[in-house]
Amino acid sequence: MGQENLNCLSSIAHFGGLNFLSIAVQPTWDSPESLMGYFHAIENKFDATEFLRFFIQTTLSNNEEPYGLKEAMNIVLLDEMNLAHIELYFAEFLSKLEIKRSKETNISIKLDTGLTWELPLGDNLLFVGTMNEDESTKMLSDKVLDRAFCLNFERLKTLKSKQQKPLPSNDGYLKAETFNRWINKEGNLKGKLERKYKKLTEEINERLSACGRSIGHRVWQSMSAYMHNHPLVLHAF
């Protein structure tokens, strides 16, 4: 993905009313400290990254701090996220985002002398990443694929000239409370899903058993959540 998709995602955030932060992933990222920051022993202070400062804002209420974003929806774009191994710099988030499905959880920030700082990982923070596939990028592991929705974009057939049009102002930021009300966690398709798509998935697993592969519970649950919330799927039923 290139600059076009970065602009597309920033426009989605703009018109959707989400606070937006774009982070350029570097090939040298090899630990959570690359994303969050680290304690500078010589200066005796923690050198926080732009991402960590934004993350902290999402945990603070606007009533506590004027820059708090806890009540709003926020999205972080990891641009070219597979320039480095995602499992290395995003490891704790991969684990904690899975735990967060069933209970509240925290992200641990390593400080000096073995101490950690716990930051709550809320539902008001979303992550999206852009990726390319070439000799400079890393392959995606099953751990990453199991925890993400992947969208592949077709090659362009018609090229268009760049239009110098300023973005109109939005009508304010989307509240996290409103966003969460839109999510259909239970849904009304359970019976139909059980009869049709769950059976189809189990049949696929039977075929995959010959090569030692299968669709796991996590993937099925993500498929179910997608169907419960996609307007075209709901309309089809």
Answer with the residue of higher pLDDT: 191 or 148. 148
Look at residue 70 in the predicted model and tell me its pLDDT. Answer: 95
pLDDT at 185 over 80: no
List alpha helices for 3-141, DSSP H: 3-16, 32-36, 50-59, 86-89, 91-99
pLDDT at 156 over 80: no
The DSSP code for 149 is -
pLDDT at 188 over 80: no
Most confidently modeled range among 72-86, 109-123, 144-158: 72-86
pLDDT at 114 over 80: no
Look at residue 124 in the predicted model and tell me its pLDDT. Answer: 94
What CA dihedral angle connects 197, 199, 201 and 205, to 10 degrees? Answer: 180
pLDDT grade, residue 218 (50/70/90)? confident
Position 25: which residue type? Answer: V
Tokens 């925890």 -> residue: 147
CB 183 within 8 A of CB 123: no
Q: What percent of the chain has pLDDT over 90?
A: 41
Look at residue 195 in the predicted model and tell me its pLDDT. Answer: 74
- How far apart, in whole angstroms, are the C-alpha atoms of residue 212 and residue 71? 45
| Partner residues linked to 110 by β-bridges | 116
Retrieve residue 206's tokens. Answer: 């039977």
Residue 125, class by beta-carbon neighbours within 10 Å (0-12 exposed, 13-18 middle, 19+ buried)? buried
pLDDT tens digit string along 141-153?
Answer: 888 888 888 888 7
Q: Which of 102, 96, 72 is nearest to 172 (CA)?
A: 72
Look at residue 36 in the predicted model and tell me its pLDDT. Answer: 94
Look at residue 154 in the predicted model and tell me its pLDDT. Answer: 77
pLDDT at 1 over 60: no
Residue 182, class by beta-carbon neighbours within 10 Å (0-12 exposed, 13-18 middle, 19+ buried)? exposed
Domains, the chain, ranges and CATH?
Answer: 3-145 (3.40.50), 184-236 (no CATH)
pLDDT tens digit string along 6-64?
Answer: 788 888 898 899 999 999 999 999 999 999 999 888 888 889 999 999 999 999 999 88
Q: Tell me what the mean pLDDT of segment 192-212 comes to.
A: 87
- Please tell me the pTM assigned to this model: 0.84
- How far apart, in whole angstroms, are the C-alpha atoms of residue 18 and residue 64? 20
Q: Give the angle 64-68-71 at the CA atoms, nearest 5°.
A: 100
pLDDT grade, residue 171 (50/70/90)? low
Q: Give the angle 93-96-113 at the CA atoms, nearest 5°.
A: 75
CB 48 within 8 A of CB 39: no
